[in-house]
Amino acid sequence: MPYEALVKSLIAGLLASFACGLGALPLLFRRVDPKRHTGIGYGAAGGLMFSASVYNLILPGLTMTSHSIALAEVLPVLAGIFLGAAFLWSTDKFLSPERLETAVWKRWGEKTAILIFIAMSIHSIPEGVAVGVGYASEEVYSTNLGTYIAVAIGIHNIPEGLAVAIPLRAAGASIQRCFWAAFLTSLPQPIAAVPAGIASWLFQPLMPVLMGFAAGAMIFLVLLEIIPEALDSDTPVKIAWAFTSGFCLMLLVQVIL
């Protein structure tokens, strides 16, 4: 892979990370303050993350090798989903109340915030791989695939950054901390883009499993932590509407692209 394409992959990944941080900016408006409506904020974040799992990870993973979905395309994604769910389940068990009381973990906040950070960081890895593979493909097929993928992921990252920022803001974090947390969850993108660009022949076949893994971790997180946390703070009807609104927002971004 030429040096120029590697630089493009790295810069595109960093810009996508910055776009993810921008997702925290809507919380600057007083009317958009999850601290006043914690449950609704968690519900909306759950909808954003669930929609991103389905439309940004699972569906693209199913159609990466061909436009028709056959059993051969489904199995790697399913395997990834179960592995991702198992990973997050293991992480949840690892973060016991006793362990969270230690100084090392206490500085990172509550368990839900830690799990969201981990899940969204995992979600960024296949996106970074897609950028690197896309720029490597440009050199072979003389297309703008890498640029298109990078722009699409950057736009997607804005509502995904909002999904990271909402629970943190609801817990009382500053806008600055929300921005940097969202930015850092997307930092694996430029880190993964460079090796994926160099060894695109290796990473491309792994994409369905990676995308399924990220989706499985996020879906498991939504059902295990985010929705129960939301229901502790507000009525099921309000949570359902918040979840639906977040889901539709991410879907709208997907359709516009």
Angle between the 111-141 and 207-221 helix axes, to the nearest 10 degrees? Answer: 160
Gap between the Cα atoms of 210 and 178, Å rounded? 26
Gap between the Cα atoms of 242 and 128, Å rounded? 29
State if pTM tops 0.85.
no
H/E run at residue 25: none
Q: Tell the residue number behind the tokens 């995308």, with chain if given.
A: 211
pLDDT (tens place) for every residue of the chain, 257 residues total: 556 767 777 888 888 888 888 888 888 877 666 767 778 888 888 998 899 888 888 888 887 766 556 677 788 999 999 999 999 999 888 888 777 777 566 666 677 878 888 888 888 888 888 887 777 765 554 556 667 777 778 887 888 888 888 888 877 778 888 898 889 888 888 888 888 877 777 777 888 888 899 999 999 999 998 899 889 888 999 999 999 999 998 888 777 76
Residue type, 246: G
Give the dihedral sign, CA 207/124/152/148: negative
pLDDT of residue 148: 74
Q: Is 25 exposed, middle or buried (0-12, 13-18, 19+ CB in 10 A)?
A: middle
Sequence ranges of the domains in the chain? 3-256
Q: How does DSSP classify residue 206?
A: G
pLDDT of residue 248: 92
pLDDT of residue 107: 64
pLDDT of residue 1: 52
3-state SS track over 57-83: HHHHHHCCCCCCCCHHHHHHHHHHHHH
